Structure 1
Amino acid sequence: MTVMQIVQQLFGSMGITMEIFFVTLITSLILGLGMALIRMSKNPILSVIAKFYISVMRGTPLMLQLLVVYFGPFFIFGMQITPSYRLKAVLIGFALNYAAYFAEIYRSGIAAIPVGQYEAARMLGYSKTQTFAYIVMPQVIKRIIPPVANETITLVKDTSLAFTLAVAEVFTVTKQLVASQSSVVPFIVAGVFYYIFNLIVAVFFDYLEKKMDYYR
């Protein structure tokens, strides 16, 4: 098999990798914000639950979490596992895992906003919702871009863990090609794929960071 044929094979599986990446990124960013607000809640019960969830998700391997999400419904509820559930399990597992990391990033960003800004907003007649939406969040977003960029780059590489559930993304197909061709060339081509993907992500976040740099 030529290098061009290997590229075509991997390019065909790129769609699954992209789906895992974008669905995870969008879902976990939304879930992470909600989890951060619960974590910072004045209700001690909700705060402890959120803190425990974040601790478990960050303290256990993503691969193990994927296996639990996939096999859990069968062993716990006796539900039949279908082949189509593989990808769904990957998306659920990734979203739940990355939501915990983004929750802590959001929390650090929100906590960094000076208390005086909340007081000034209250003096100007802003409601708590308006203060959060128009004053706090724009600053939080600017502050958290670098750590979010780092997690996003990690996500690109972590999509390869979908091979745990035999989902045909780039790394899974790469392993199959290496086994069938007895060659490391597919690994090299896959490495180039991941590097280009990460380069695009890095350039995008660099542009976004400069776009929001209101101190320049």
Structure 2
Amino acid sequence: MRPPKVGDTIIICSFGKTEKGARIEKGILEGVASREEQATSSPVRKNYRKAKKSKIAVIVAICIALAFAFDIYVVYTTPEDAPRNKKACLLKENPAEKEYSSRLHVAKYICDNDHLPVYYVTKSEGIKLYEQKTGKTFVKWNFNPHTTLGVMIGGDYFDNREGRLPPAYYYEADVDYFGDNRGTNRLVYSSGCNIYYTTDHYKTFSKIVFEKQP
């Protein structure tokens, strides 16, 4: 049972000293409404709440529209990367965006920033992501990481054991993902825009050089 509010109909029973029975009177409860009652009954408050809900709905709709318009990517952080807070930005599975994996696009990014784009992950990170996404145990790289996982493989150390490149501390990165697996095309690079390209899995190399802008 709720407590009485202003405006409720009430029945009052009173007993007088000279009266034999109870006197029953009917009336309306008067007084000042509580803050809660004023808030729920006020037209201004009701209109304010409606306007607020409408505003939130409009903001949500705008955010969704912007997400589709600007192709916002989903970002994953793997447990191994937590100390470094490195994030892997997943590429969209869209054939029109092959430039994200092309050798010149990636090489130019390395030359300008001295590191790989954020959608690259190391081999160990790629294996863990594969097992998490597919529920299968990794056996070998018989799949395309771009189309299967939305990432590219790169950032592992390249030891240059055959000595085909000048002495330096090199890293490697996959490029040109157009087949059903990782393929054999790689960039091998070190600091200072020192970048080489191989199409035969490290047997031969060609140096990539970008002209400096005046």
Question: Which TM bucket (shorter chain)?
Answer: under 0.3
Q: Give the alignment's TM-score, normalised by structure 1.
A: 0.21
Bigger-Rg structure (1/2): 2
Q: Which has the higher strand share?
A: 2
Relative contact order: is structure 1 or structure 2 higher (C-alpha 8 Å, sep ≥ 6)? 1
Q: TM-score, normalised by structure 2?
A: 0.21
Identify, as 1 or 2, the structure richer in helix: 1
